[in-house]
Amino acid sequence: MAEDWRTAPLPPATRAVLAFAEKLTRTPAAMVRADVATLRAAGFVDEEIHDVAQIAGYFNYINRLADGLGVPPEPDMARWPRDNGTR
């Protein structure tokens, strides 16, 4: 799932959350009301949708800071195979 959530056997509601979080991460200016409506249709209430947006936004924020400042991963975190270790 970590490498490609689209091919993992996930419930439709989880897929909806992941698609929302990915769009918010990759193309935040492209977010529209329909993106929220899709989550509501999948059974999420506004508080849960807010939580998803907050978590995705914070994760993006903190990783951009760490990447921008050259903060190395914590010692107990293994690098992804595609990471060439140049940080």
Residue 85 has pLDDT above 80, yes or no: no
Percent of the chain's residues with pLDDT above 90 = 74
Flag whether 28 is in a domain: yes
Domain tally, the chain: 1
pTM: 0.80
* Tokens linked to 70: 């050259």
Cβ(56)–Cβ(17) below 8 Å: no
Is residue 65's pLDDT more than 80? Answer: yes
Give the residue-averaged pLDDT of 3-29: 94
Please state the separation of Cα 79 from the chain's center in Å.
18
> Would residue 6 count as lying in a domain?
no
Q: Is residue 63 part of a domain?
A: yes
Is 8 within a domain? no
Domain limits for position 56: 15-68
Beta-carbon contacts of residue 83 (< 8 Å; ≥ 6 apart): none
What's the rounded Cα separation, in Å, for the pair 57 and 51?
A: 10
Kindly report each contact of residues 65-74 with a partner whose C-beta sits within 8 Å and lies 24 or more positions away, as own/partner: none
Residue 31 lies in a domain: yes
* % residues pLDDT > 70 (the chain): 89
In-domain check, residue 80: no
